[in-house]
Every structure is written in C-alpha cells, then in structure tokens.
C-alpha cells in the first residue's frame, strides 16, 4: 500500500510540474497575462499539452526511473520524452489548417510556436530539477549518516588517474566520509583534464608531480584509481610514493572486477602482482563458452593453484558437470566447498584419486564420460624432484600417460596438458619429465580421435610453493630473503591470467600442438624480492637483508620460451603462440617408456644418476645441472633458433 501511495504521489507531482511549467511558458511568452480570449483557448489546450508530454515520458519509461539515482542517462531520456510530446503538439499546430474538416474547436490547438518551445525548455528544467533536488537531498542525508565521528582523522589522499574508474572512486569517497579517506586532488597525464574538477575534486597535475603535490598539500596516502594500470606505471608510482614517504593503495585490477570478486571502489594495498601487471588478457569468451557450455569437464590436480582456478573459470564458462580429481583430501575439500557456494547450478563430483592409479582413473572415466580433460596434476618443485627423481617420473610421466590413455579409450573430445617452460632444453628432472609427457601426448594425438595439446608457461605468482609465499614467510620472520643468484630471471604470470589462457589454448587446439603463452619480459628475482620487502613497509638491505645462496640442483639462470623462434608462430590470440613439429611415432615413445617403467617402479631405489641417464635417452637436449654450477643458458633470455627447433614440439 505504501509503495502504491508513493508511486501515485510521484506521478501526480510530475503532472503538477508539467502544469506549472506550461503556465510559466505562457507568462514568459506574453510578458504577463494574455487576453481573456486567449486564456480561454489556453485553458482548453492545457490538458492536451500535459497528456501528450506525460505520454512521451511514459514512452521513454521516465516514471520508472528512481529519483534518488537520476543521472545523465535519465536526463537524456527525459528530454527525449518531452521532445516527442512537443513534436506532436507542433504537428497539430501546423497541420490543422490543411485538414478538410473545419471546426471552431480545432482553432484551439493552434497555439503559438513560442509557447510550445518555451514550455519544452521549462518543462525539461522542471522535471529534471525535482529529481535533481531529490538526489541532492538523498546524498546529503547519506553523508550525514556516514559522517565520521572525528573528521580530523580522515587521511588526506591523492588520487592517481582521473578516468572512469577514478570518477567512480571519487564519487564513492565523497559520499562515504566514514571510510576515513579525504581526497585532496587528482593526478592525470591527460592534458585536457589538467585544471578541471571531477566530482568537486581538482586535477592538480601530472603523475610526475606526485612528490611535489604530496609535500605541498600534506598528503599521507596515494591511491591508484586506474583499473587497468600496467605494471610499469604502478611501479613508477610506487617508487615516487616511497620517495615522498607516503602510503600507497590501489583499486582492484580489471580481472578482479570482471570476475565479480570485488567492486571498483574496493581499496587495498599494492601487491607484487600489481607491479608485474600487464595489459589484461582478452579472452575469446565466445570460443571458450562454445566449447565448454553444457559439457562435462574433468580436471586433475583440481585442488592445486592452477587446477582450482581452472575449475572456477570452467564453471564461469557454463560447464554442466565438473569432475574434480585430486590426491590431497584437504585441497579437494576446500575447492569443492568453494565451488558449491559460488556455482550451485553446476553438478560437482569430487573424486579422491592418484593419477598413477590406473584402475581408479579408469573407473572415474567410465562413470562420468567427460568431454574435456584438463590435466594439471604434477610434481613441480625443481629441487625436490632432483632428490626424488623416481617420484617425478611416476607422477609427471606415467600419471600423464594413465590419464591420457583413459581419455583416448573414452573418446574425450579434448585433452589439455599443463606443461612448463622448464621443459625447453631441460636441466632438471622436473623439466625433463614434463618434456617426456609432452612427447607422449603429442604422439598419442596423431593416432587418436581425441585432440591432445599441451600448454607451456612459466612461474605463476602466488601458486603453492612458489617464490612469492617463500619470500613473504622470510620477510615475516625478519629475513634474510634468499635468492639463489643475482642474475636469476624468470617469467611470471598471475593465476587467473594463466588459467584463462589455458582455456583459450585448449579451445583453439586441433591436436598435437604445444601452445606457448606470452609471459612478457622476464623479471630479475632479486628485484621481485626488493619490491616485496618495500611493499611490506621495510627497506631492503637496512631492515631485511637479501642473501645470494647459489644455484640449486636443476636450476638455470633463466628459463627459455620459444617466442623468438620462427618455429613458434602467432595464433589469432595475441598472447598465445603455437609450435608444431612432426610428433615422434607413438611406437617409439611407448618403447622408450617401457624401458623407463622398470627403473621408476623398481623395488630398489635407482640412483639419481641412472634415472637422469634414462631420461636423457628420451630427451637428448636434457642437460642435468651439476649442483653448485650454473646451468648452460644463452646470453639473453631470448633463445637461439637452433635450441628452439629442438625444444618446440
């Protein structure tokens, strides 16, 4: 009942405004009251004006707009509705003399054009004005509700980036004083914005002026309000903020906003991922969704860093059923619980299984008959696999073979294996086992209906056991932060970025390809350590020491990607390259694996040297690193063509 009364009241108020503006237009047109005869004509014409104007507003759905949140879009619709009504009135004004029917009443609709045009302008101001007053009153009321108890404690904050995201943040900050942030101005490199005011906040200068503005205005905090800020921009702002002695915050990246993880006004500390941020990955959603929508998808290693994010992306793509295969019970429990809460419409089946258990894997495939398989299960830690080479071979080689063979028997449409850049000219057991797995799925694809592909990328920031959690733990313990070598460089990707590109490559694969993801420029690991120390509010070499410990077994100074080789060709996706050489005959690969099998599963643990020698028979480019010595590598992170021809399959 209250809603009906409120709606009716608002409609009556609109009609009252239209009535008042009509008579105001008359007074303006005639500089006062017209003649009595003309007033009689206007009184007759008045209801028609109101009805036609309100009909135009209804046509543009203006009465349905919320007055509290009226904006530019609603204002344009108001103008359109009133213009339609006025156009009809003008049509009557000039069309009546040409009608064959003559009547005294028709003369009443021949109103002066000036009255109609003035009425259009005044009615627009009236209808828009009452809504603007309602919005201003609402925003003032909201500010009063959120007024901080101690305004002097609000942090003077400089906003960097006066684009669309910056405007949204500024609007929210002005409406929510209780957030404790007092914006003092914008910085933006767009010369057209300099000196302008956005939501009452002035654009004070360029990004290069950050230190000077902070000192002049007593700024205590800088907030990056650019949702798509590249890593080099974030890094330069971070360094300038550090020199100015102010804290640095940032709004989320575009990927977080698109995935509905946070809103654009969610303010957080700058992270190492922000400093390494590249242009957002442009996912071909139509292609990925066409492949996965309504499909049954199986993911091995579903509880791992990449596997769990793949599961989320697959659910977002519209899969009907998702089979979660994971050996670790706790990891499986966590990803299953998270997916249940977020994607109740997807049928989820958690399966505890070891990929080396052929019977269990066969039973899972027979029960669920998946359409797509993403094989993310693997042992990935280089030094650990150097100490346990047999386990690396069992899991990475024969675990992959078990899942791939099941996929072939059950005619899975696509099988995507997650590989690594360490498989290129491998120097570690882990890299060599991944290269053997690539060779097997490539050979299998040549004789199978299933499209087998591999996707190769480098280090993933924040994944379990990666360098980032290690550095954070060392910083929390007071240091030192250990880096193996001052020249150590690595390619880095975020977990969502890597997962999205895996899905994209999988949807593009026709079989036998090895996809290589463009990971940008390599990063010095020592720089990563220094950035992380700074982001923790500490100073490198003063508060936290960086210690170089020497290369570990299996490591090389920089990993190799096949992007510089003519053998790796660009696909239609700018961040995905493809390498394709004739696969080895399946019989040859199977024969090599038959020789490797008894060594890996021997009752007596073979020596690491024997296992490395066996891997070298299958992967001739495998060059094990002697502990304490640097791995052979090119003079630069870009790899020579000859090594790429050997490495890209």
pLDDT digits (tens, 9 = 90+) for 270-287: 666 666 655 555 667 788
H or E element at residue 14: helix 2-30
Q: What is the pLDDT of residue 643?
A: 35
Average pLDDT over residues 427-434: 93
Query: Could you tell me which of 16, 212, 42 has the C-alpha nearest to residue 127?
Result: 16
Give the pLDDT confidence of 24-45 residue by residue, as tens digits.
Answer: 887 888 777 776 767 777 777 7
Give the pLDDT confidence of 531-546 residue by residue, as tens digits.
Answer: 778 777 677 877 888 9
* 57, 63 Cβ separation under 8 angstroms: yes
Where does the pLDDT of residue 261 fall: very low under 50, low under 70, confident under 90, or very high at 90 and above?
A: very low
Query: Could you tell me which of 176, 206, 180 has the C-alpha nearest to residue 191?
Result: 206
Both tokens assigned to 250: 């940032």
Question: How many Å apart are CA 532 and CA 542, to the nearest integer?
Answer: 14
Which residues touch 428 (CB under 8 Å, ≥6 apart)?
A: 382, 385, 386, 422, 553, 554, 555, 624, 625
Per the omega criterion (within 30 degrees of 0), is the bond before 334 cis?
no
257, pLDDT greater than 50: no
Cα-Cα-Cα-Cα dihedral sign, residues 414, 415, 419, 425: negative
Greater pLDDT, 195 or 520: 195
Characterize the bridge pairing of strands 296-300 and 321-326.
Answer: parallel
Q: What is the pLDDT of residue 465?
A: 61
Residues in the chain: 649
Q: What is the pLDDT of residue 590?
A: 94
Q: What is the pLDDT of residue 399?
A: 97
* 544, 526 Cβ separation under 8 angstroms: no
Give the pLDDT confidence of 554-581 residue by residue, as tens digits.
Answer: 676 766 655 344 355 666 677 777 766 6
511, pLDDT greater than 50: yes
Q: What is the mean pLDDT of the chain?
A: 80
Q: What is the pLDDT of residue 351?
A: 97
Give the pLDDT confidence of 443-501 residue by residue, as tens digits.
Answer: 999 899 999 999 987 777 766 666 777 888 888 888 898 988 888 887 777 788 788 88
Q: What is the pLDDT of residue 563?
A: 36
| Radius of gyration of the chain from its Cα atoms, rounded to whole angstroms | 34
Question: How many Å apart are CA 144 and CA 429, to the nearest integer?
Answer: 64
404, pLDDT greater than 90: yes
Q: Where on the phi/psi map is residue 199: left (φ > 0), alpha (ψ -120 to 50), or beta? A: left
Where does the pLDDT of residue 109 fall: very low under 50, low under 70, confident under 90, or very high at 90 and above?
A: low
Question: Which CATH architecture group holds 151-275?
Answer: 3-Layer(aba) Sandwich (3.40)
Instruction: Work out the number of other CB atoms within 10 angstroms of the CB of residue 232.
Output: 13
Q: What is the pLDDT of residue 66?
A: 74
Greater pLDDT, 264 or 281: 281
Residues of the chain with CATH 3.40.50.720: 151-275, 286-459+493-519+560-647
Question: How many Å apart are CA 547 and CA 555, to the nearest integer?
Answer: 17
Greater pLDDT, 50 or 177: 50
Helical segments of 224-271, H only: 231-244, 254-258
E-strand ranges in 110-187 read 155-160, 181-187
Percent of the chain with pLDDT over 90: 27
Query: Could you tell me which of 486, 499, 428 has the C-alpha nearest to residue 457?
Result: 499
Give the pLDDT confidence of 291-339 residue by residue, as tens digits.
Answer: 999 999 999 999 998 999 999 999 999 999 999 999 999 999 999 999 9
Question: Rounded to 5 degrees, what angle do the CA atoms 278, 280, 284 make?
Answer: 140
Give the pLDDT confidence of 62-78 residue by residue, as tens digits.
Answer: 887 777 677 777 888 88
* 579, 454 Cβ separation under 8 angstroms: no
H or E element at residue 404: helix 400-409
Average pLDDT over residues 545-556: 79
Global pTM value = 0.64
Q: What is the pLDDT of residue 431?
A: 92
Both tokens assigned to 420: 């690594």
* 211, 240 Cβ separation under 8 angstroms: yes
* 558, 637 Cβ separation under 8 angstroms: yes
Give the pLDDT confidence of 333-371 residue by residue, as tens digits.
Answer: 999 999 999 999 999 999 999 999 999 999 999 999 999
Which residues touch 130 (CB under 8 Å, ≥6 apart)?
A: 13, 14, 17, 67
Q: What is the pLDDT of residue 629?
A: 45
Characterize the bridge pairing of strands 296-300 and 197-198.
Answer: unpaired
Give the pLDDT confidence of 237-247 residue by residue, as tens digits.
Answer: 888 888 888 88
Characterize the bridge pairing of strands 197-198 and 201-205.
Answer: antiparallel
According to CATH, what is the number of the domain 286-459+493-519+560-647? 3.40.50.720
Question: How many Å apart are CA 271 and CA 495, to the nearest integer?
Answer: 14
């Amino acid at each position: 009942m209250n809603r009906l009364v409120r709606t009716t009241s608002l409609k009556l108020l609109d009609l009252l405004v239209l009535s008042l503006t009509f008579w105001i237009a008359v007074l303006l047109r005639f500089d006062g009251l017209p003649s009595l005869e003309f007033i009689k004509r206007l009184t007759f014409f008045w209801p028609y004006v109101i009805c036609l104007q309100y009909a135009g507003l209804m046509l543009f759905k203006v009465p349905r707009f919320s007055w509290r949140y009226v904006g530019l879009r609603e204002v344009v619709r108001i103008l359109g509705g009133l213009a339609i009504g006025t156009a009809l009135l003008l049509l009557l004004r000039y069309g009546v003399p040409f009608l064959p029917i003559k009547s005294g009443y028709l003369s009443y609709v021949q109103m002066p054009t000036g009255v109609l045009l003035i009425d259009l302008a005044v009615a627009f101001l009236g209808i828009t004005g009452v809504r603007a007053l309602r919005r201003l009153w609402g925003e003032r009321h909201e500010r009063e509700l959120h007024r901080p108890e101690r305004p002097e404690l609000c942090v003077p904050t400089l906003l960097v980036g006066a684009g669309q995201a910056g405007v949204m943040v500024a609007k929210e900050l002005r409406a929510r004083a209780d957030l404790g942030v007092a914006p003092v101005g914008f910085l933006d490199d767009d010369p057209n914005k300099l000196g302008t005011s956005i939501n009452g906040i002035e654009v004070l200068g360029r990004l290069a002026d950050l230190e000077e503005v902070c000192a002049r205005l007593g700024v205590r905090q800088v907030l990056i309000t650019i949702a798509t800020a590249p890593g080099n921009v974030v890094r330069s702002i971070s360094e300038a903020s550090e020199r100015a002695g102010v804290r640095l915050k940032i709004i989320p990246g575009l990927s977080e906003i698109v995935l509905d993880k946070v809103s654009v006004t969610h303010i957080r500390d700058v992270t190492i991922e922000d400093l390494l941020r590249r242009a957002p990955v442009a996912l071909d959603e139509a292609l990925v969704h066409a492949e996965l929508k309504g499909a049954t998808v199986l993911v091995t290693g579903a509880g791992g860093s990449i596997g769990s994010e793949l599961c989320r992306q697959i659910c977002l793509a519209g899969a009907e059923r998702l089979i979660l295969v994971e050996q670790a019970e706790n990891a499986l429990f966590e990803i299953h619980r998270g997916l249940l809460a977020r994607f109740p419409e997807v049928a989820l089946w958690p399966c505890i299984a070891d990929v080396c258990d052929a019977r269990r894997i066969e039973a899972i495939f027979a029960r669920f008959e998946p359409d797509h398989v993403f094989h993310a299960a693997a042992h990935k830690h280089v030094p650990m696999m150097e100490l346990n080479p047999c386990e690396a071979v069992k899991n990475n080689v024969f675990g992959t073979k078990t899942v791939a063979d099941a996929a072939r028997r059950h005619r899975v449409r696509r099988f995507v294996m997650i590989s690594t850049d360490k498989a290129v000219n491998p120097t570690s057991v882990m890299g060599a086992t991944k290269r053997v797995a690539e060779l097997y799925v490539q050979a299998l694809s040549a004789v199978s209906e299933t499209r087998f592909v591999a996707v190769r990328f480098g280090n993933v920031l924040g994944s379990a056991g990666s360098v980032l959690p290690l550095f954070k733990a060392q910083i929390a313990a007071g240091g030192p932060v250990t880096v193996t070598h001052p020249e150590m460089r690595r390619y880095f990707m975020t977990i969502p970025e890597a997962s999205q590109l895996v899905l994209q490559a999988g949807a593009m694969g026709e079989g036998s390809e090895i996809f290589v993801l463009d990971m940008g420029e390599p990063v010095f690991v020592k720089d990563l350590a220094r950035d992380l120390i700074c982001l923790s509010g500490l100073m490198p070499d003063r508060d936290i020491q960086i210690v170089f410990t020497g290369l570990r077994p299996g490591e090389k100074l920089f990993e190799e990607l096949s992007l510089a080789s003519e053998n790796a060709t660009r696909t239609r996706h700018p961040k995905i390259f493809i390498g394709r050489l004739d696969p080895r005959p399946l019989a040859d690969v199977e024969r090599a694996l038959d020789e490797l099998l008894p060594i890996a599963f021997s009752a007596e643990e073979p020596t690491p040297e024997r296992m490395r020698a066996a891997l070298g028979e299958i992967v001739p480019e495998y060059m094990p690193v002697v502990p304490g010595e640097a791995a052979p590598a090119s003079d630069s992170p870009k790899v020579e063509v000859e090594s790429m021809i050997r490495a890209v399959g």
